[in-house]
Structure 1
Amino acid sequence: MSISSVISILAELLFLALIIRAVLSWLTGVVALQPIARFINRVTDPILEPIRRIVPPLGGIDMSPLIAMIVIWLVESLLLTVLAGH
């Protein structure tokens, strides 16, 4: 497996975790999902917390997952471009 493949897979997993976190935030009352939510929060908090310190919720809507997805996509694209040049 190449380093490019690893980067792409990690980016996709982070995207998926952010999407799952957003969906789970709407399902707060479902007790069976709490262990999953805790795991997803532990994975995504290091990405989202720095963004939240810079960008507060807009009209009560947390934009940090969307911003995180854009940043992840940009970093993935940059890394893959740099690796392709070598």
Structure 2
Amino acid sequence: MIAILQTLSIILSLVWWVFLIMIIMSWLIAFNVINTRNAFVDTVWRAVNSITEPILRPIRRLIPPMGGMDLSPIIVFIIIFFLQSFIANDLPRMLRLY
């Protein structure tokens, strides 16, 4: 059971990194530092968006952009932090694994 919880924690960490990459890439694209006409950049951008959009879409429906700022990635970071903390600390105690 501990192995499953650790695997879930690693998956959440990977999702966290994908969201961080998405945020940084969106800034770089917005400020014209990188260009989506580059094939590599476009491929990475499409891959990152295909991973993040299904997670962000329901949150964006609940919390629309405020003043042009999309706060949904921040909400995702908070949820990931909560889940990782819950998996690492509370869930093992609840299941009496420690």
Q: TM-score range by the shorter chain?
A: 0.7 to 0.9
User: Match of 1:43?
Assistant: 51
Distance in 1 (CA, whole Å) between partners of 2:45 and 2:28 is 10
Q: TM-score, normalised by structure 2?
A: 0.77
Q: TM-score, normalised by structure 1?
A: 0.86
**Percent of residue pairs bearing the same amino acid type:** 34
CA RMSD, 1 decimal: 1.7
Distance in 1 (CA, whole Å) between partners of 2:81 and 2:8 is 11
How many correspondences in the alignment? 86
Q: Secondary structure at the match of 1:60?
A: coil
Please, which runs of 5 or more residues in structure 1 have no aligned partner? none
Please, which runs of 5 or more residues in structure 2 have no aligned partner? 30-34
User: Match of 1:18?
Assistant: 19
Aligned structure 1 segments of 4 or more residues deviating by more than 6 angstroms: none
Moved more, 75-84 or 49-58: 75-84
User: Match of 1:5?
Assistant: 6
Distance in 2 (CA, whole Å) between partners of 1:14 and 1:36 is 15
